[in-house]
Structure 1
Amino acid sequence: MAGTRRKRLEQPREVVLQAAMDAIAEHGLAPLTMAGLGKRIGISGGHVAYYFGSKEQLLVETLRWSELGFAERRRALLTAPDNSAAERLAGYVDLYLPDERADPRWTLWLEVWTRSLGDPEVLAASTEIEGPWMADLRAMIGPHPDPDGYVLRLHALLDGLATRIVIGAPGPSRAEIVRQATEFAVREAFPESGVDHTNR
Protein backbone atom coordinates (compact mmCIF):
# COMPACT_ATOMS: atom_id res chain seq x y z
CA MET A 1 0.00 0.00 0.00
CA ALA A 2 2.76 2.42 0.96
CA GLY A 3 4.65 1.66 -2.23
CA THR A 4 1.60 2.34 -4.35
CA ARG A 5 1.03 5.64 -2.56
CA ARG A 6 4.59 6.74 -3.25
CA LYS A 7 4.22 5.85 -6.91
CA ARG A 8 1.03 7.88 -7.17
CA LEU A 9 2.59 10.94 -5.54
CA GLU A 10 5.59 10.74 -7.83
CA GLN A 11 3.44 10.95 -10.95
CA PRO A 12 3.42 14.57 -12.16
CA ARG A 13 -0.02 15.84 -13.03
CA GLU A 14 1.20 16.62 -16.53
CA VAL A 15 2.05 12.97 -17.11
CA VAL A 16 -1.60 12.02 -16.61
CA LEU A 17 -2.82 14.88 -18.82
CA GLN A 18 -0.35 14.08 -21.60
CA ALA A 19 -1.32 10.42 -21.41
CA ALA A 20 -4.96 11.38 -21.78
CA MET A 21 -4.19 13.46 -24.89
CA ASP A 22 -2.08 10.64 -26.34
CA ALA A 23 -4.86 8.12 -25.72
CA ILE A 24 -7.41 10.38 -27.42
CA ALA A 25 -5.09 10.87 -30.39
CA GLU A 26 -4.58 7.13 -30.77
CA HIS A 27 -8.03 5.73 -30.06
CA GLY A 28 -10.52 8.59 -29.68
CA LEU A 29 -12.53 9.39 -26.59
CA ALA A 30 -14.91 6.42 -26.46
CA PRO A 31 -12.46 3.89 -24.98
CA LEU A 32 -10.86 6.38 -22.56
CA THR A 33 -11.41 5.24 -18.96
CA MET A 34 -9.77 6.02 -15.65
CA ALA A 35 -8.58 2.42 -15.41
CA GLY A 36 -7.18 2.40 -18.93
CA LEU A 37 -5.43 5.72 -18.42
CA GLY A 38 -3.93 4.54 -15.15
CA LYS A 39 -2.67 1.36 -16.76
CA ARG A 40 -1.08 3.41 -19.51
CA ILE A 41 1.13 5.25 -17.04
CA GLY A 42 1.53 2.53 -14.41
CA ILE A 43 -0.89 3.63 -11.70
CA SER A 44 -4.39 2.49 -10.77
CA GLY A 45 -7.57 3.98 -12.10
CA GLY A 46 -8.43 4.85 -8.51
CA HIS A 47 -5.36 7.04 -8.29
CA VAL A 48 -6.36 8.86 -11.48
CA ALA A 49 -9.81 9.38 -9.97
CA TYR A 50 -8.16 10.69 -6.80
CA TYR A 51 -6.47 13.44 -8.82
CA PHE A 52 -9.47 14.41 -10.96
CA GLY A 53 -12.59 13.13 -9.20
CA SER A 54 -14.56 12.25 -12.32
CA LYS A 55 -14.13 11.67 -16.01
CA GLU A 56 -15.76 15.05 -16.67
CA GLN A 57 -13.16 16.79 -14.55
CA LEU A 58 -10.37 14.81 -16.19
CA LEU A 59 -11.56 15.92 -19.62
CA VAL A 60 -11.88 19.55 -18.54
CA GLU A 61 -8.41 19.60 -16.98
CA THR A 62 -6.89 17.88 -20.00
CA LEU A 63 -8.47 20.50 -22.26
CA ARG A 64 -7.30 23.31 -20.00
CA TRP A 65 -3.77 21.92 -20.03
CA SER A 66 -3.74 21.43 -23.81
CA GLU A 67 -4.76 25.05 -24.32
CA LEU A 68 -1.69 26.39 -22.52
CA GLY A 69 0.52 25.79 -25.54
CA PHE A 70 -2.00 27.50 -27.80
CA ALA A 71 -2.03 30.50 -25.49
CA GLU A 72 1.70 30.91 -26.01
CA ARG A 73 1.27 30.71 -29.77
CA ARG A 74 -1.51 33.32 -29.71
CA ARG A 75 0.72 35.63 -27.71
CA ALA A 76 3.39 35.20 -30.37
CA LEU A 77 0.85 36.22 -33.02
CA LEU A 78 -0.18 39.28 -31.04
CA THR A 79 3.36 40.47 -30.53
CA ALA A 80 4.85 39.60 -33.94
CA PRO A 81 6.40 42.97 -34.90
CA ASP A 82 6.74 42.29 -38.63
CA ASN A 83 3.19 41.05 -39.28
CA SER A 84 0.31 43.28 -40.24
CA ALA A 85 -2.94 43.14 -38.29
CA ALA A 86 -4.46 41.11 -41.12
CA GLU A 87 -1.57 38.63 -41.07
CA ARG A 88 -1.97 38.18 -37.33
CA LEU A 89 -5.67 37.56 -37.83
CA ALA A 90 -4.97 35.02 -40.56
CA GLY A 91 -2.60 33.23 -38.20
CA TYR A 92 -5.29 33.21 -35.51
CA VAL A 93 -7.81 31.54 -37.83
CA ASP A 94 -5.28 28.89 -38.85
CA LEU A 95 -4.31 28.24 -35.22
CA TYR A 96 -7.92 28.02 -34.05
CA LEU A 97 -9.12 25.42 -36.54
CA PRO A 98 -8.37 21.68 -36.17
CA ASP A 99 -5.41 20.29 -38.07
CA GLU A 100 -7.33 17.30 -39.40
CA ARG A 101 -10.18 14.88 -38.89
CA ALA A 102 -10.25 13.52 -35.31
CA ASP A 103 -7.81 16.20 -34.12
CA PRO A 104 -7.46 15.19 -30.43
CA ARG A 105 -7.76 18.71 -29.06
CA TRP A 106 -10.95 19.37 -30.97
CA THR A 107 -12.31 15.90 -30.23
CA LEU A 108 -11.89 16.87 -26.59
CA TRP A 109 -13.58 20.25 -27.12
CA LEU A 110 -16.63 18.59 -28.68
CA GLU A 111 -16.89 16.13 -25.81
CA VAL A 112 -16.61 18.87 -23.19
CA TRP A 113 -19.28 20.94 -24.95
CA THR A 114 -21.59 17.92 -25.09
CA ARG A 115 -21.11 17.20 -21.38
CA SER A 116 -21.74 20.85 -20.52
CA LEU A 117 -25.41 20.36 -21.52
CA GLY A 118 -26.10 18.59 -18.25
CA ASP A 119 -23.34 19.94 -16.04
CA PRO A 120 -23.18 23.67 -15.18
CA GLU A 121 -19.66 23.27 -13.78
CA VAL A 122 -18.39 21.85 -17.07
CA LEU A 123 -20.14 24.68 -18.93
CA ALA A 124 -18.51 27.27 -16.68
CA ALA A 125 -15.10 25.66 -17.14
CA SER A 126 -15.38 25.48 -20.93
CA THR A 127 -16.46 29.13 -21.04
CA GLU A 128 -13.47 30.07 -18.91
CA ILE A 129 -11.09 28.10 -21.13
CA GLU A 130 -12.47 29.73 -24.29
CA GLY A 131 -12.33 33.22 -22.80
CA PRO A 132 -8.66 33.97 -23.58
CA TRP A 133 -9.21 33.09 -27.25
CA MET A 134 -11.97 35.70 -27.45
CA ALA A 135 -9.98 38.28 -25.51
CA ASP A 136 -6.94 37.86 -27.74
CA LEU A 137 -9.08 38.11 -30.87
CA ARG A 138 -10.58 41.33 -29.52
CA ALA A 139 -7.06 42.69 -29.00
CA MET A 140 -6.03 41.73 -32.54
CA ILE A 141 -8.72 43.68 -34.35
CA GLY A 142 -8.10 47.01 -32.65
CA PRO A 143 -10.73 49.74 -33.15
CA HIS A 144 -13.95 48.30 -34.57
CA PRO A 145 -17.54 49.59 -34.69
CA ASP A 146 -18.88 46.41 -33.03
CA PRO A 147 -15.99 44.47 -31.46
CA ASP A 148 -18.13 42.19 -29.29
CA GLY A 149 -20.42 41.34 -32.18
CA TYR A 150 -17.43 40.66 -34.43
CA VAL A 151 -15.84 38.31 -31.91
CA LEU A 152 -19.13 36.46 -31.40
CA ARG A 153 -19.78 36.07 -35.14
CA LEU A 154 -16.28 34.94 -35.99
CA HIS A 155 -16.16 32.41 -33.17
CA ALA A 156 -19.53 31.00 -34.17
CA LEU A 157 -18.26 30.63 -37.73
CA LEU A 158 -14.97 29.03 -36.65
CA ASP A 159 -16.68 26.63 -34.26
CA GLY A 160 -19.01 25.45 -37.02
CA LEU A 161 -16.15 25.02 -39.48
CA ALA A 162 -14.02 23.30 -36.84
CA THR A 163 -16.79 20.78 -36.26
CA ARG A 164 -16.90 19.99 -39.99
CA ILE A 165 -13.15 19.41 -40.07
CA VAL A 166 -12.92 17.29 -36.93
CA ILE A 167 -15.80 14.96 -37.88
CA GLY A 168 -14.52 14.65 -41.44
CA ALA A 169 -17.66 16.05 -43.10
CA PRO A 170 -17.62 15.91 -46.92
CA GLY A 171 -16.80 19.19 -48.56
CA PRO A 172 -13.90 21.61 -48.91
CA SER A 173 -10.42 20.74 -47.69
CA ARG A 174 -9.03 22.25 -44.53
CA ALA A 175 -6.90 24.61 -46.63
CA GLU A 176 -9.97 25.89 -48.45
CA ILE A 177 -11.89 26.28 -45.20
CA VAL A 178 -9.01 28.27 -43.71
CA ARG A 179 -8.86 30.46 -46.81
CA GLN A 180 -12.56 31.27 -46.77
CA ALA A 181 -12.67 31.82 -43.01
CA THR A 182 -9.65 34.13 -43.24
CA GLU A 183 -11.24 36.16 -46.02
CA PHE A 184 -14.38 36.60 -43.92
CA ALA A 185 -12.42 37.43 -40.76
CA VAL A 186 -10.25 40.06 -42.43
CA ARG A 187 -13.06 41.64 -44.45
CA GLU A 188 -15.24 41.96 -41.35
CA ALA A 189 -12.41 43.23 -39.17
CA PHE A 190 -11.25 45.89 -41.61
CA PRO A 191 -14.35 46.83 -43.63
CA GLU A 192 -13.22 50.38 -44.27
CA SER A 193 -10.05 49.53 -46.16
CA GLY A 194 -11.50 47.84 -49.24
CA VAL A 195 -8.15 46.08 -49.60
CA ASP A 196 -7.64 42.35 -49.98
CA HIS A 197 -5.60 41.72 -46.83
CA THR A 198 -5.42 37.97 -47.37
CA ASN A 199 -2.53 38.02 -49.86
CA ARG A 200 0.44 37.19 -47.70
Structure 2
Amino acid sequence: MSPRSAETNRELREQSRRRILDAALELFAERGYGGASVAQIADRAGVARGLVSYYFPAKERLLEELLTEAMFGIFGLVAPAPEETTADERLAGLIDRVLLTASRTVPLQRLVLCLMLQPATRGVYVRVEASHAAELTAFEDAIRSIFTERGAPDPALEEVLLRSVLEGVVFKLAVYPDTYPLEAVRRRVYAIYDLSPAGPLLPDEPDRPADRLRS
Protein backbone atom coordinates (compact mmCIF):
# COMPACT_ATOMS: atom_id res chain seq x y z
CA MET A 1 0.00 0.00 0.00
CA SER A 2 1.45 3.34 -1.01
CA PRO A 3 1.89 5.97 1.71
CA ARG A 4 -0.70 8.70 1.99
CA SER A 5 0.18 11.98 0.36
CA ALA A 6 0.74 15.14 2.38
CA GLU A 7 -2.51 16.54 0.97
CA THR A 8 -4.45 13.46 2.07
CA ASN A 9 -2.99 13.72 5.56
CA ARG A 10 -3.90 17.39 5.70
CA GLU A 11 -7.48 16.64 4.67
CA LEU A 12 -7.78 13.90 7.29
CA ARG A 13 -6.47 16.22 10.00
CA GLU A 14 -8.94 18.90 8.97
CA GLN A 15 -11.81 16.38 9.02
CA SER A 16 -10.88 15.31 12.55
CA ARG A 17 -10.60 18.90 13.68
CA ARG A 18 -13.98 19.70 12.14
CA ARG A 19 -15.63 16.73 13.86
CA ILE A 20 -14.26 17.93 17.20
CA LEU A 21 -15.57 21.47 16.66
CA ASP A 22 -18.99 20.22 15.55
CA ALA A 23 -19.19 17.92 18.57
CA ALA A 24 -18.23 20.77 20.90
CA LEU A 25 -20.88 23.01 19.37
CA GLU A 26 -23.55 20.33 19.84
CA LEU A 27 -22.58 19.62 23.44
CA PHE A 28 -22.25 23.28 24.42
CA ALA A 29 -25.75 23.77 23.03
CA GLU A 30 -27.14 20.73 24.83
CA ARG A 31 -25.36 21.00 28.20
CA GLY A 32 -23.89 24.48 28.36
CA TYR A 33 -20.21 25.28 28.25
CA GLY A 34 -19.63 24.29 31.85
CA GLY A 35 -21.58 21.05 31.53
CA ALA A 36 -19.66 19.66 28.54
CA SER A 37 -16.36 17.89 29.23
CA VAL A 38 -13.47 17.25 26.87
CA ALA A 39 -14.07 13.49 27.26
CA GLN A 40 -17.70 13.92 26.17
CA ILE A 41 -16.62 16.02 23.19
CA ALA A 42 -14.11 13.35 22.15
CA ASP A 43 -16.74 10.64 22.48
CA ARG A 44 -19.26 12.62 20.43
CA ALA A 45 -16.65 13.31 17.75
CA GLY A 46 -15.54 9.68 17.67
CA VAL A 47 -11.89 10.48 18.37
CA ALA A 48 -9.42 9.84 21.17
CA ARG A 49 -9.36 12.38 23.97
CA GLY A 50 -5.69 12.97 23.25
CA LEU A 51 -6.54 14.13 19.75
CA VAL A 52 -8.89 16.77 21.13
CA SER A 53 -6.11 18.01 23.41
CA TYR A 54 -3.66 17.96 20.49
CA TYR A 55 -5.75 20.36 18.44
CA PHE A 56 -7.22 22.29 21.36
CA PRO A 57 -5.01 22.22 24.49
CA ALA A 58 -7.86 23.56 26.65
CA LYS A 59 -11.64 23.52 26.37
CA GLU A 60 -11.51 27.30 26.24
CA ARG A 61 -9.62 27.06 22.94
CA LEU A 62 -12.58 25.18 21.47
CA LEU A 63 -14.84 27.98 22.58
CA GLU A 64 -12.52 30.59 21.09
CA GLU A 65 -12.52 28.79 17.74
CA LEU A 66 -16.31 28.46 17.65
CA LEU A 67 -16.81 32.12 18.52
CA THR A 68 -14.25 33.14 15.90
CA GLU A 69 -16.07 31.12 13.25
CA ALA A 70 -19.39 32.68 14.22
CA MET A 71 -17.87 36.18 14.15
CA PHE A 72 -16.35 35.72 10.70
CA GLY A 73 -19.64 34.31 9.47
CA ILE A 74 -21.22 37.61 10.48
CA PHE A 75 -18.44 39.62 8.82
CA GLY A 76 -19.09 37.78 5.56
CA LEU A 77 -22.72 38.90 5.44
CA VAL A 78 -21.73 42.45 4.54
CA ALA A 79 -20.10 41.39 1.24
CA PRO A 80 -22.52 42.46 -1.52
CA ALA A 81 -23.73 40.16 -4.24
CA PRO A 82 -22.58 41.08 -7.78
CA GLU A 83 -26.01 42.47 -8.65
CA GLU A 84 -26.03 44.80 -5.63
CA THR A 85 -24.58 47.94 -7.18
CA THR A 86 -26.41 50.76 -5.37
CA ALA A 87 -26.42 51.59 -1.68
CA ASP A 88 -30.10 50.65 -1.41
CA GLU A 89 -29.45 47.28 -3.01
CA ARG A 90 -26.51 46.62 -0.69
CA LEU A 91 -28.57 47.56 2.35
CA ALA A 92 -31.48 45.34 1.31
CA GLY A 93 -29.08 42.49 0.57
CA LEU A 94 -27.42 42.84 3.98
CA ILE A 95 -30.78 42.83 5.77
CA ASP A 96 -31.88 39.73 3.88
CA ARG A 97 -28.61 37.84 4.43
CA VAL A 98 -28.74 38.48 8.16
CA LEU A 99 -32.37 37.38 8.49
CA LEU A 100 -31.99 34.38 6.19
CA THR A 101 -28.86 33.16 8.00
CA ALA A 102 -30.55 33.58 11.38
CA SER A 103 -33.65 31.68 10.26
CA ARG A 104 -31.51 28.75 9.05
CA THR A 105 -29.21 28.57 12.08
CA VAL A 106 -31.49 29.09 15.08
CA PRO A 107 -29.62 26.61 17.37
CA LEU A 108 -26.30 28.30 16.57
CA GLN A 109 -27.75 31.76 17.22
CA ARG A 110 -29.03 30.61 20.60
CA LEU A 111 -25.67 29.22 21.56
CA VAL A 112 -23.68 32.26 20.45
CA LEU A 113 -26.04 34.59 22.33
CA CYS A 114 -25.57 32.54 25.48
CA LEU A 115 -21.79 32.41 25.11
CA MET A 116 -21.64 36.18 24.59
CA LEU A 117 -23.58 36.91 27.77
CA GLN A 118 -22.88 34.21 30.36
CA PRO A 119 -20.38 35.25 33.04
CA ALA A 120 -18.34 32.06 32.52
CA THR A 121 -17.83 32.71 28.81
CA ARG A 122 -18.28 36.46 28.37
CA GLY A 123 -14.56 37.10 28.91
CA VAL A 124 -13.64 34.66 26.14
CA TYR A 125 -16.00 36.43 23.76
CA VAL A 126 -14.48 39.81 24.65
CA ARG A 127 -10.99 38.42 24.03
CA VAL A 128 -11.96 36.94 20.66
CA GLU A 129 -13.60 40.21 19.64
CA ALA A 130 -10.51 42.19 20.63
CA SER A 131 -8.20 39.85 18.70
CA HIS A 132 -10.14 40.59 15.51
CA ALA A 133 -10.55 44.32 15.99
CA ALA A 134 -9.31 45.12 12.47
CA GLU A 135 -11.86 42.82 10.83
CA LEU A 136 -14.63 44.15 13.06
CA THR A 137 -13.73 47.72 12.14
CA ALA A 138 -13.78 46.83 8.44
CA PHE A 139 -17.22 45.24 8.90
CA GLU A 140 -18.52 48.37 10.63
CA ASP A 141 -17.01 50.64 8.01
CA ALA A 142 -18.59 48.64 5.19
CA ILE A 143 -22.02 49.23 6.71
CA ARG A 144 -21.24 52.89 7.38
CA SER A 145 -20.22 53.34 3.75
CA ILE A 146 -23.71 52.27 2.71
CA PHE A 147 -25.25 54.99 4.84
CA THR A 148 -22.66 57.52 3.68
CA GLU A 149 -23.66 56.80 0.09
CA ARG A 150 -27.32 57.16 1.07
CA GLY A 151 -26.58 60.63 2.42
CA ALA A 152 -27.11 59.91 6.14
CA PRO A 153 -25.87 62.78 8.35
CA ASP A 154 -24.40 60.34 10.89
CA PRO A 155 -23.42 57.02 9.22
CA ALA A 156 -21.88 55.72 12.45
CA LEU A 157 -25.15 56.13 14.32
CA GLU A 158 -27.06 54.49 11.47
CA GLU A 159 -24.69 51.51 11.56
CA VAL A 160 -25.21 51.07 15.29
CA LEU A 161 -28.98 51.41 14.91
CA LEU A 162 -29.22 48.92 12.04
CA ARG A 163 -27.17 46.34 13.93
CA SER A 164 -29.28 46.89 17.04
CA VAL A 165 -32.48 46.33 15.06
CA LEU A 166 -31.20 43.24 13.27
CA GLU A 167 -29.60 41.72 16.37
CA GLY A 168 -32.89 42.26 18.21
CA VAL A 169 -34.68 40.40 15.44
CA VAL A 170 -32.14 37.56 15.62
CA PHE A 171 -32.55 37.33 19.39
CA LYS A 172 -36.36 37.16 19.24
CA LEU A 173 -36.23 34.69 16.36
CA ALA A 174 -33.90 32.47 18.40
CA VAL A 175 -36.30 32.52 21.35
CA TYR A 176 -39.57 32.26 19.38
CA PRO A 177 -38.75 30.48 16.09
CA ASP A 178 -42.25 29.07 15.62
CA THR A 179 -44.23 32.24 16.25
CA TYR A 180 -41.94 35.06 15.14
CA PRO A 181 -43.43 37.03 12.19
CA LEU A 182 -40.17 37.20 10.29
CA GLU A 183 -41.57 38.26 6.92
CA ALA A 184 -43.74 41.00 8.41
CA VAL A 185 -40.80 42.32 10.42
CA ARG A 186 -38.60 42.21 7.33
CA ARG A 187 -41.10 44.30 5.40
CA ARG A 188 -41.21 46.79 8.28
CA VAL A 189 -37.41 47.07 8.35
CA TYR A 190 -37.49 47.69 4.60
CA ALA A 191 -40.05 50.44 5.16
CA ILE A 192 -37.89 52.10 7.85
CA TYR A 193 -35.16 52.56 5.26
CA ASP A 194 -37.53 53.36 2.37
CA LEU A 195 -36.39 50.33 0.40
CA SER A 196 -38.28 48.86 -2.51
CA PRO A 197 -40.44 45.85 -1.62
CA ALA A 198 -38.87 42.48 -2.36
CA GLY A 199 -40.22 38.98 -2.82
CA PRO A 200 -40.59 36.73 0.21
CA LEU A 201 -37.40 35.82 2.03
CA LEU A 202 -38.64 32.26 2.65
CA PRO A 203 -41.28 31.49 0.00
CA ASP A 204 -42.09 28.09 1.52
CA GLU A 205 -42.63 29.44 5.03
CA PRO A 206 -45.97 30.84 6.27
CA ASP A 207 -46.25 34.62 6.40
CA ARG A 208 -47.20 34.86 10.06
CA PRO A 209 -49.14 37.90 11.29
CA ALA A 210 -47.72 39.91 14.13
CA ASP A 211 -49.27 38.48 17.26
CA ARG A 212 -48.09 37.73 20.77
CA LEU A 213 -44.72 35.99 20.91
CA ARG A 214 -45.00 32.72 22.78
CA SER A 215 -42.89 29.60 22.94
Identity of aligned residues (%): 23
TM-score using structure 1 length:
0.67
Structure-2 separation of matches of 1:116 and 1:198: 42
* Aligned counterpart, 1:125: 128
1:86 to 88, 100, 112: 88
Aligned twin of 2:205: none
Matching of residue 152 in structure 1 with residue 160 in structure 2: yes
Q: Using a 3 Å threshold, how does the CA distance of structure 1 residues 91 and 169 change in structure 2: closer, same or farther? A: same
Does 2:106 match 1:106? no
Could you say what secondary structure the match of 2:168 adopts?
helix
Aligned to 1:140: 146
In structure 2, the residue matched to 1:63 is 67
Tell me the SS of whatever aligns to 1:199: coil
Residue in structure 2 matching 1:199, options 183, 197, 200: 197
Residue 158 (structure 1) shift: 1.7
Task: Indicate how the Cα distance of structure 1 residues 111 and 52 shifts in structure 2: closer, same or farther if over 3 A, else same.
Answer: farther
* Residues 67 and 128 in structure 2, CA contact (< 8 A), matched pair in contact too: no
Relative to structure 1, the CA distance from residue 118 to residue 99 in structure 2 (aligned partners, 3 Å threshold; closer, same or farther) is: closer
**What does 1:44-59 correspond to in 2, within 5 Å?**
44-59=48-63
Checking the alignment, whether the CA contact within 8 Å between 2:23 and 2:44 is kept in structure 1 is: yes
Distance across 2 between alignment mates of 1:120 and 1:95: 28
Matched letter for residue 20 of structure 2: V
Supply the AA of the counterpart residue of 2:129.
S
Q: Deviations over 1:106-161 (max 9, x none)?
A: 12321221246765343131364882542332233334311111111221222222
Q: How many Å separate the matches in 2 of 1:135 and 1:116?
A: 30
From 89, 92, 97, the counterpart of 1:95: 97
Match of residue 30 from structure 1: 31
Distance 1:104 1:139, change over 3 A: farther
SS at match of 1:28: helix
With over 3 angstroms needed to count, the CA separation of the structure-2 counterparts of 1:49 and 1:133, relative to structure 1, is farther
Distance 2:95 2:196 in 1: 12
The alignment's TM-score, normalised by the length of structure 2, stands at: 0.64
**Aligned residue in 2 for 1:3:** none
Mean CA deviation greater in 140-149 or 48-57:
48-57
CA distances 1:85-114 after superposition (whole Å, capped 9, x unpaired): 2222122122223115x7133123212212
Number of positions where the alignment pairs a residue of Structure 1 with one of Structure 2? 177
**Higher RCO structure (Cα 8 Å, ≥6 apart):** 1
- Runs of 5+ in structure 1 lacking a partner? 1-6, 187-195
Q: Look up the equivalent residue of 1:88 and give its one-letter code.
A: R
Q: Tell me the equivalent position of 1:161.
A: 169
Structure with the higher fraction of residues in helix conformation: 1
